[in-house]
Amino acid sequence: MGAGVGDDAAEADVVSDRWASKAGIEIELVASEAAARELVAVLARVWPQPGGTDPFPPELAWALAHSGNYVALARTADGPVAAAVAFRGRDADGPHLHSHMVGVVAEHRGANIGFALKQHQRAWALGQDLARITWTFDPLLVRNAYFNVMKLGARLTRYYVDFYGQLTDGINAGDETDRLLVTWWLTEERAVHAAAGEVPPCDRDGLLASGAVPLLGPDAAGAPRLAPDGPAAAPRLVGVPADAVDVRRSDPGRSREWRHALRRVLVGAFSAGMEVTAVSRDGWYVLSAGG
């Protein structure tokens, strides 16, 4: 861990400003009802709903902002392009910030805007004496896993089966909503290095050569293939399709096969005390005992 929440907040502000400048955006906290409506309009472009309804009530976004939670909007010179909504929470580990929604409109993805927004969120949380941010994401979306673990320096610590139940938006409709819990300790060394843009290597072939056990991966036809477990101390490798969103759209049956196979493996691994500690660029989770 770093020197402390208060000691790290000022440096996090500097880092946040640097990444926002690199991404070509300005990030503002929502400070009016009108800005809350702009924020929801951005989220609607990211998560389109049946009938064009809002994915998040504008009045709730404004109420959360007005009551001291994190509600932020990122703009380029052309207008709003990303948004984030997070609220304060408390669990067995104490107070934290729970990040409910962070989205970047499609035409601006790949420009580090999402990373800059998360660094702004990190700086805000540290300024509020909160040392931890949590959120959930679909474990089949391995690109998100790579971003969370490798780019941000967070940990994946728990698996929830069908967390939200049935959703109807343009991304999740018709699928079970399994989610992984992300725990981002903001002053942990890995998070500090990540904030500096340092992404550690993750070599799947090297891990295999050193004795890692592949528990799940694609067969020649692209279907999930489960493998026997191995020695207790060995890291585990779990592979999923890099194009899981496309698979869900083109072959829902195959997508369900992957959902259930991944659920079986990760629920078992987490129950055995393992934790996702790395993710490779080519779509493999690395699990290690005891984190």
Nearest to 128 by CA among 88, 100, 172: 88
Record the tokens describing residue 59, joined without a space. 């009045």
The answer to whether 98 and 87 are in contact (CB under 8 A) is: yes
Record the tokens describing residue 175, joined without a space. 């699928």
The answer to whether 111 and 24 are in contact (CB under 8 A) is: yes
Determine the pLDDT at residue 35: 97
In DSSP terms, which residues pair with 86 in a beta bridge? 70, 99
113 vs 52: which has the higher pLDDT: 113
Please report the sign of the dihedral spanned by the C-alpha atoms of residue 41, residue 47, residue 48, residue 51.
negative
Determine the pLDDT at residue 1: 42
Whether the per-residue pLDDT at 173 is higher than 80: the answer is no
198 vs 8: which has the higher pLDDT: 198
CA–CA separation, 188 vs 194, rounded Å? 10
Average the pLDDT over 23-40 and give the result. 97
**Radius of gyration, alpha carbons of the chain:** 19
Whether the per-residue pLDDT at 19 is higher than 90: the answer is yes
pLDDT digits (tens, 9 = 90+) for 65-118: 999 999 999 999 999 999 999 999 999 999 999 999 999 999 999 999 999 999
Whether the per-residue pLDDT at 269 is higher than 60: the answer is yes
The answer to whether 121 and 140 are in contact (CB under 8 A) is: no
Tell me the CATH architecture of domain 5-195.
3-Layer(aba) Sandwich (3.40)
For tokens 């309009």, the residue is 41
Determine the pLDDT at residue 76: 96
Query: HEC states along 198-225?
Result: CCCCCCHHHHHHCCCEEEEEECCCCCEE
Determine the pLDDT at residue 182: 96
Percent of the chain with pLDDT over 90: 71
* Numbered ranges of CATH 3.40.630.30 in the chain: 5-195
pLDDT digits (tens, 9 = 90+) for 109-164: 999 999 999 999 999 999 999 999 999 999 999 999 999 999 999 999 889 998 76
Phi, psi torsion values for 216, nearest 5 degrees? -150, 140
Q: Which residues, including other chains, have CB under 8 Å from residue 210's CB and lie 6 or more apart?
A: none
Nearest to 257 by CA among 288, 285, 221, 281: 221
The answer to whether 133 and 86 are in contact (CB under 8 A) is: yes
38 vs 53: which has the higher pLDDT: 38
In DSSP terms, which residues pair with 185 in a beta bridge? 132
Percent of the chain with pLDDT over 70: 93
Record the tokens describing residue 44, joined without a space. 């609607």
3-state SS class at 16: helix
Q: Which residues, including other chains, have CB under 8 Å from residue 242's CB and lie 6 or more apart?
A: 142, 143, 282, 283
CA–CA separation, 279 vs 143, rounded Å? 9
Residues in the chain: 291
Average the pLDDT over 263-272 and give the result. 92
Whether the per-residue pLDDT at 27 is higher than 70: the answer is yes
The answer to whether 135 and 96 are in contact (CB under 8 A) is: no
pLDDT digits (tens, 9 = 90+) for 197-251: 999 989 889 999 999 999 999 998 889 999 988 877 889 999 998 888 888 888 8
CA–CA separation, 210 vs 232, rounded Å? 14
CA–CA separation, 35 vs 273, rounded Å? 44
